[in-house]
Amino acid sequence: MPDTDSTLTTPAFAARWARRWHDELTGNVLPWWQREMFDGAGRLLGARGNDGVRREVPRSAVLSTRVLWAFASAQGRLGADAAGAQAAWRAWDWVTGPQTDADHGGVFWSVDAEGRPVDDHKQVYAQAFAIYAFTAFHAGQTRESGAAPATAALDKAMRLFDLLDAHAFDAADGGCWEGCARDWTVLGDSRLSDKEPEAPKSMNTMLHVVEALTELHRHHPDPRVAWRLRELMGIFLESIWLPQQRCFGLFFSRDWRHLTPQVSFGHDIETAWLLVRAAEALGDERLLQRTRALALRVADAVLERGVAADGSVLGEGRFDGAITDTRRHWWCQAEAVVGFWDAWQHGGDPRHAQAAWRAWAYIDRHHVDRVGGDWFKTLDAQGRPIDTVPKAGPWECPYHHVRAGLEMIERLQRVRP
């Protein structure tokens, strides 16, 4: 623990913290996924528990696209050893092979071990992650080859964007639907899980469409992509952000009435920094000022209502201030590190830098598995792993903690006296 808040933002301390993140990614997280989540034929596995035992479940599009994104991004932003490069190609082959619908385009929601569709509908959330992963693979391969950018991965990303643009957006009220059938007919009910209300639109889906289009626009500027990205940014700022409740709404009617009183502290802090990143990609100074100001408000609200005494971020609450989920989810902690640090970069408030460090300290003490590898994904209120949640599974992927590590390495390396 640093002696003072000011120590956190010194170049020397930032350099040590960046090295710790680098070591965590390259020495623990990525090697575990390389070693444990592909079979002898190079096919992606479905799940593995905290005890290290393989679990036979369908391969979700969320898992496969996020694994591809993680290895491609590590390759593009850190460089990759032979094992990491092999994992990126294995994930690419799986996503573009069995996980992809060769007839109608897009990725299936889930497939079995042999690559046969189990659930063939087109969840928009998963299509966004496929675009995100293809774009990252393009960037990673370009870095490794040192040559002019290959177009295969970007072509796949743009073809998938074209499908979403044609079928998944609401022409009347804006934003995108939750899901489509295999033939891209909009589905009436396509909730991500049975824990969610039946809602035609959700913040979570739209957030990751924003994220995917941000990266696609950065690597392949296209006026149609920029237009859709601006549209979604406007919806976030005008409809999804609820200023009286000081949070982002989670579930919405077609015409943007929020449907539940839930607050997701992890999603709030994640959304804040991703909106800033989108504004930066668009090069819109006015939008950038607006999203940075919002990021500070979000950081303050999450710090006030969603952070426990030990520095960890709680699961969920309600508008009235009640906490409804006291579990500690790995992704909430990872997003808090980046989101609070991002807020400090914009506003200079030492409370935000300290909150980022405390979230990392909690991760380092409780989530990192120094014996079995990778991170425990969900802990109880006392910081003990909940073994019913697998270490790797349909939702338990390397995306959040790899992204946090890559972001923090780059941001910490930019700290100046």
Predicted model pTM: 0.96
Pick from 109, 225, 233, 243: which is nearest to 178 by CA? 109
pLDDT confidence of residue 146: 55
pLDDT confidence of residue 149: 55
HEC string of the chain equals CCCCHHHHCCHHHHHHHHHHHHHHHHHHHHHHHHHHCECCCCCECCEECCCCCEECCCEEHHHHHHHHHHHHHHHHHHCCCHHHHHHHHHHHHHHHCCCECCCCCCECCEECCCCCEEECCEEHHHHHHHHHHHHHHHHHHHHHHCCCCCCHHHHHHHHHHHHHHHHCECCCCCCECCEECCCCCECCCCCCCCCCCCCCEEHHHHHHHHHHHHHHHHHCCCHHHHHHHHHHHHHHHHHHEECCCCEECCEECCCCCECCCEEEHHHHHHHHHHHHHHHHHHCCHHHHHHHHHHHHHHHHHHHHHCECCCCCECCEEECCCCEEECCEEHHHHHHHHHHHHHHHHHHCCHHHHHHHHHHHHHHHHHHECCCCCCECCEECCCCCECCCCCCECCCCCCHHHHHHHHHHHHHHHCCCC
> What is d(CA 395, CA 329) in angstroms, rounded to the nearest whole number?
12
pLDDT tier at 145, thresholds 50, 70, 90: low
Tell me the mean pLDDT in the region 240-246: 98
pLDDT confidence of residue 213: 98
What's the pLDDT tens digit per position in 253-306? 999 999 999 999 999 999 999 999 999 999 999 999 999 999 999 999 999 999
CA 113, distance to chain mean position in Å, is: 25
What's the pLDDT tens digit per position in 335-376? 999 999 999 999 999 999 999 999 999 999 999 999 999 999
Give the tokens for residue 137. Answer: 């693979």
Beta bridge partner(s), residue 313? 307
pLDDT tier at 4, thresholds 50, 70, 90: low
pLDDT confidence of residue 162: 98
Q: How many CB atoms lie within 10 A of CB 406?
A: 20
> What is d(CA 47, CA 52) in angstroms, rounded to the nearest whole number?
10
Beta bridge partner(s), residue 176? 169
pLDDT tier at 1, thresholds 50, 70, 90: low
